[in-house]
Amino acid sequence: MGLDFETFVLAAATADLDEEPDARPHADCVEFRMDLAAAPLAALDGYDGELPLLATNRPTWEGGEADPEGRLDALETAIEHDAVAAVDVELAALSNGDGHDLVERAAELGVAVVVSTHDFEGTPPRPELGRLLTRAGEVGDVAKLAVTATDRDDALDLLAATRAHAAEGATVATMAMGEPGRHTRAVAPVYGSRIGYAPVDPARTTAPGQYDLATLRSLVDGLLGEGSR
């Protein structure tokens, strides 16, 4: 199972891999939120779904629930599974000197690396948005940036940064959390964002402002054209 992110990929976010069949009509992959699962490695061992997996084990300091102890080790174990085609690692972890073994092992296995930054407080100035995307892209295959928009200007800044980096050939995934930026989840792919996230179960969102899976698929297909999958 492979993911190259050369075109837009819609990830169905879930902590329950048993939901994978429900994701198939709309999603291109499943983001497996290991930090929200009771026994994530056991779930991976039993996974026999059709969709490739993007493994995420988000720490508390970046909006997740993973225990710092053994968090990256669990991701290293996860990427050994054939179904895991991509892995998410935080830019902040890499900046602190952690996670480089994970990135190297992923490269050996042909597993794509999404290097992510999440800002739950606001949206940095446009130059900082660009700097974060550049730094993430220097390490990973995809530079992911999720910010919190307090107004439409924040959303516009994010879209401008997305367009600028995509136009230079960078592979980026961007979205603005919160109501003022909600539309960016559908619009950012038009400007070059390569990953969208939506919950399989609308009642189980994993980030503020997410659309449900079917809605986001319909919106993106409508904007990019039916051939976006």
Catalytic residue status for 144: yes
Q: What would the two tokens of residue 1 be?
A: 């199972």
pLDDT for res 119: 96
Fold of 9-228: TIM Barrel (3.20.20)
pLDDT for res 1: 60
Residue type, 103: V
pLDDT for res 205: 72
Choosing from 26, 118, 165, 183, which is the catalytic residue? 118
Choosing from 26, 81, 144, 165, which is the catalytic residue? 144
Give the C-alpha distances (Å, rounded to integers) separating 197 from 9, 68, 80, 209, 225: 9, 24, 23, 11, 18
pLDDT for res 72: 97
Give the other-Cβ count within 10 Å of 41's Cβ: 12
- CB 154, CB 183: distance < 8 Å: no
Per-10-residue mean pLDDT of the chain, 229 residues long, equals 88 96 97 96 97 97 92 97 98 94 97 97 97 98 97 97 98 96 96 95 75 94 75
pLDDT in tens, 51-110: 999 999 999 999 999 988 899 999 999 999 999 999 999 999 999 999 999 999 999 999
Residue 88's beta-bridge partner residues? 114
Ramachandran angles phi, psi of 143, nearest 5°: -100, 115
Q: Pick from 174, 178, 214: which is nearest to 194 by CA? A: 174
pLDDT for res 46: 97
pLDDT for res 225: 82
Catalytic residue status for 165: no
pLDDT for res 33: 97
The pTM score is 0.94
Domain residue ranges in the chain: 9-228
